[in-house]
Structure 1
């Protein structure tokens, strides 16, 4: 399921619900079908996401564990199941939302999110 984040001043981003859930939990927001990050909440939201990204970079053990849990294949018959590169981390997933929040904060706006149902 897609979750849309709409800024009152800066545009829109979309992400899948598991990623949106992870980021909203960092922000201590409920994963409801609709929600808001108010103008007053934007500085704290940006700080929380930045701290989570910094903490994620400090302990790359999860990334190593994710790579070692998928078995290596020696034949080329299952090319679609090969790992193409390192797993996508929290920093890459959070960056678009951090940017949206920062642009919105500069113009004293707010951010709404919307999904088909609670996630």
Structure 2
């Protein structure tokens, strides 16, 4: 399943369910078929994502470069870190806050 994030202040983007669920958890939202992050909730969502990114960056055990038995090297190259997944939403949230617009999503 895909989630489509939308805001009147930013371009839409689509995210895989697995990645979107992680971001929903970070910002404290339920991964429902549709939802909203209101303008009033955006500062907290931005802070939560930035805190999660700081934790990821400081976690020295959170690297995929470590060898894993029977791990496919090509799959390892395809790993998408949290900062890569969070960047589109973080940009949308900041642009939406600047223009006083809500962020919504649908499946």
1:9 Cα offset (Å): 2.0
- C-alpha distance in 2 between matches for 1:43 and 1:106: 11
Is the contact between residue 9 and residue 92 of structure 2 (CA under 8 Å) also seen in structure 1?
no
Which structure has the bigger radius of gyration?
1
Q: Does the alignment pair 1:103 with 2:102?
A: no
- C-alpha distance in 2 between matches for 1:105 and 1:67: 39
Number of residue equivalences: 107
- C-alpha distance in 1 between matches for 2:60 and 2:80: 12
Q: Taking structure 1 as reference, are residues 109 and 72 closer, same or farther at Cα in structure 2, changes over 3 Å only?
A: closer
1:83 Cα offset (Å): 4.1
- C-alpha distance in 2 between matches for 1:10 and 1:70: 42
- C-alpha distance in 2 between matches for 1:113 and 1:54: 25
**Counterpart residue number, 2:61:** 61
Q: Taking structure 1 as reference, are residues 30 and 20 closer, same or farther at Cα in structure 2, changes over 3 Å only?
A: same
1:98 Cα offset (Å): 0.2
Matches within 5 A, 1:39-118: 39-64=39-64, 67-69=66-68, 71=70, 82-83=74-75, 85=77, 87-115=79-107
Structure 2 unmatched ranges of 5 or more: none
- C-alpha distance in 2 between matches for 1:84 and 1:32: 30
**Counterpart residue number, 2:11:** 11
Structure 1 unmatched ranges of 5 or more: 74-80
Superposed CA RMSD in Å reads: 2.0
